Amino acid sequence: MDLKETAKAYKKEQFDDFGLGEKATSGHYRVLNKDGSFNIKKDNVPLLEKINFFHTLVSMSWPRFLGLILSTYFCVNLLFASIYMIIGVEHLTGIYGVTPFEQFTEAFFFSAQTITTLGYGQVAPTGILANIVAATESMMGLLGFALATGMVYGRFSKPAAKLKYSDYAVMAPYKDINGFMFRVVNPHGNQLLEVEASVSLSILRENSELRNFYPLDLERSKVVFLPAVWTIVHPITKESPFQELSVEDLFRRDLEIIVVIKAFDETFSQSVYSRSSYKFNDIKWGEKFKYLMSHENGRVSVDVSGISSTEKAELNEVRFD
C-alpha cells in the first residue's frame, strides 16, 4: 500500500466525537434532542457554580419568564405589606380600613405604589421606621425594574437560528444511487447568509457499548442564501458509512444522525447555530420528500407546513465493486 492509499484508509477510519465522548455516550438513547438541547444531566455540581441567573432568565420560555416576574412582584409586595403591618398601620397616613384584611390590602397597594415610585399620595409613611422601609423598598424597585428591563432586552436581542427541520429524514433514490436526506427551512422573516451544514453518524461499535462518530459527506454542505427550503443530501457512495451497514445493523447499533447548522444572521450581524438529530425511527426508508415550491402572482411560494410530507419512492439497486 503506497502513501496515498494509506492516507485514504486513515481518513476513512478517522472519526470525530463532537466532544460528546465515545464512552460517555455509550448505550441506547438519544444524545441530542430534536429541539437541539443535549440529553445530558450534570450531577454533583456545587450550588454556587451551578447558578447562572442571566442564562436561566434569558433562555427560559416567555410564559415562565413573565410568570416569574409577576410572581416576584406579587411576593415582594406581600413581604413589604406584612412589614408595614408589623410596624403598625398608624405609621401610614390615609389608611381607612377597619378590619385587618382591609388594612393589609391598603398596605399592599401602598407597597405597589412605593416600589414602582408611582406615589399617588393618598397613603404616606410617618415616623423614621416606616420611612426607612419605604425608602428601602423604592430603591429595591428601581434596581429590580432595571434588572427586569435588561432581561427583556436580552431576550429580544439574543440571536438564534430558529430553523424548522423536517420531522423525518428519508432514505430516497438520488441520481443513480440512493441518498440520506432531510429538509430545513427558515420560517421567520430574517435573512440567513453563508449557511453551512455539518452532519455526522453516531453508532455503537460492534459488540460494544462504545460509540463511533463518522462525518458524512454532503452533496452540498454550504449555501449562500436560505430563502426557501434546503434539502440536505448525503449520497450513499462506496465511501459512505451507510454502505457497509444494513438496515438491521443501523437499528441494532442505535443509529443517531447529529446535525449542526451555522449561519450568519443579517438582522443581528452575528453567527448563529442550530442543532437537531434523527434516530432510526425518525427515518423513512424508500420514501422521498414532496415538492413544496410553486409560483403565484409572479412570486415563488413555499408551503412550509408540508416540510415533512413524503411519498413512496423505490430505492435504486446499487452494488459497489
Whether 202 and 298 share a structural domain: yes
Per-residue pLDDT of the chain (321 residues; tens, 9 = 90+): 444 443 444 344 445 556 666 555 555 667 778 777 777 777 777 877 777 888 888 888 899 999 999 999 999 999 999 999 999 989 999 888 889 999 999 999 999 999 998 888 889 999 999 999 999 999 999 999 999 999 998 888 877 778 999 999 999 999 999 999 999 999 888 889 999 999 999 988 888 878 888 899 999 999 999 888 999 999 999 899 898 888 898 999 899 999 999 999 988 888 999 999 999 999 999 999 999 888 888 888 888 899 999 999 999 887 766
The CATH number of the domain holding residue 91 is 1.10.287.70
Q: Which amino acid is at 197?
A: A
Whether 170 and 112 share a structural domain: no
Q: Last residue of a domain, which of 133, 157, 181? A: 157
Q: Last residue of a domain, which of 88, 122, 157? A: 157
Q: What is the pLDDT of residue 26?
A: 55
Whether 178 and 115 share a structural domain: no
Q: Is residue 46 part of a domain?
A: no
* Residue 92 CB burial class (10 angstroms; 0-12, 13-18, ≥19): buried
Q: Is residue 8 part of a domain?
A: no
Whether 261 and 296 share a structural domain: yes
* Count of CB atoms situated within 10 Å of the CB of 279: 19
Q: Is residue 7 part of a domain?
A: no
Q: Where would I find the beta strands (DSSP E) of 131-266?
A: 164-165, 169-174, 177-185, 192-204, 211-215, 222-225, 229-235, 256-265
| Alpha-carbon distances, residue 8 vs 1, 193, 238 (angstroms) | 11, 33, 13
Q: What is the pLDDT of residue 4?
A: 46
CB 256 within 8 A of CB 279: yes
Whether 104 and 56 share a structural domain: yes
Q: Which amino acid is at 234?
A: H
Q: Last residue of a domain, which of 130, 157, 184? A: 157
Nearest to 291 by CA among 301, 278, 277: 301
Whether 254 and 180 share a structural domain: yes
Domain that holds residue 104: 52-157
Rounded Cα–Cα distance for residues 265 and 60 (Å): 22
Q: What is the pLDDT of residue 69?
A: 94
The CATH number of the domain holding residue 308 is 2.60.40.1400
Own/partner pairs, 71-75, CB within 8 angstroms, 24+ separation: 72/144, 73/115
Number of domains in the chain: 2
Q: Is residue 45 part of a domain?
A: no
* 3-class SS of residue 50: helix
Whether 169 and 151 share a structural domain: no
Q: What is the DSSP string of 77-128?
A: HHHHHHHHHHH-GGGEET----SHHHHHHHHHHHHHHHHTT---SSSEE-SH
Whether 164 and 255 share a structural domain: yes
Q: Is residue 136 part of a domain?
A: yes
Q: Is residue 237 part of a domain?
A: yes
Q: Is residue 258 part of a domain?
A: yes
Whether 198 and 225 share a structural domain: yes
